[in-house]
Structure 1
Amino acid sequence: MANTVAVVADTKTGKTYKIEVPQESLNALTGRKIGDEVDGIFLNLPGYKLTITGGSSVDGFPMKKDLPIQGKKRILVKYSSGKRGKRGLRKRVTFRGSIVGPDITQLNMKITQYGPSPIGQGTEEKKE
């Protein structure tokens, strides 16, 4: 299995932090959906509350909130490409469902409730 990384966004400062997710914590997060609030103790952030906002699988397919499954699915997506005409461009694209599974490589989260200690201690900081 590939290592899972959680990218935690701090909305107050505008910074993101990469945190390695232990395998036992990933097993506890399995079955959660995009939009669910989880406790920060799963990522060694006691006192924090985090919301799952997305992610991607081992194969690189992004999670889609509208897809209520755990696996992958090819769906027909309409793109507006800026061209004139009656029809837009439609393309069949593979997405991953909104339920977290064991094949997630990256899990995107944002902080909804802050804990007593700052998040920057002991985590790798990534500026954007």
Structure 2
Amino acid sequence: MPLLEAFKKWLDEKAPLVLPESLLGKAFSYTRNQWEYLSRYVTDGRVAVDNNATERDIRPFCTSRKSWMFSDTVGGAKASAMVFSPMLTCRACDVEPYAWLLHVLKELPQRAPDADVTDLLPFN
């Protein structure tokens, strides 16, 4: 936190000395405008310093979406999200997605249509 506070103070002192439309000025402006989000990881231990895990998780979806039929529609995007979301939740919870899906598909037919199925979620 002290290092970030010193950096913020430096940014605030130097920003007026930099041309706003220069690349450095734009970098200063962006950093100062996003400061709340850039420094959140020091106040919330659940937040990572970077977003590498998220980028890694969405890469297969982003690189493959042009290959999938119907992904260019809102409905197709929602369908893709409905498949990817539980799979990535499994990964985040250290649950093997294929085993989880097999378990859910075997268990769901045994439940009543209005039954509570929250116990089947990957984090449970």
The answer, yes or no, to whether TM exceeds 0.5 is no
Task: Give the number of the structure whose alpha-carbon radius of gyration is greater.
Answer: 2
Structure (1/2) with the larger strand percentage: 1
Higher relative contact order (CA 8 A, sep 6+): 1
Structure-2-length-normalised TM-score: 0.17
Q: Which has the higher helix share?
A: 2
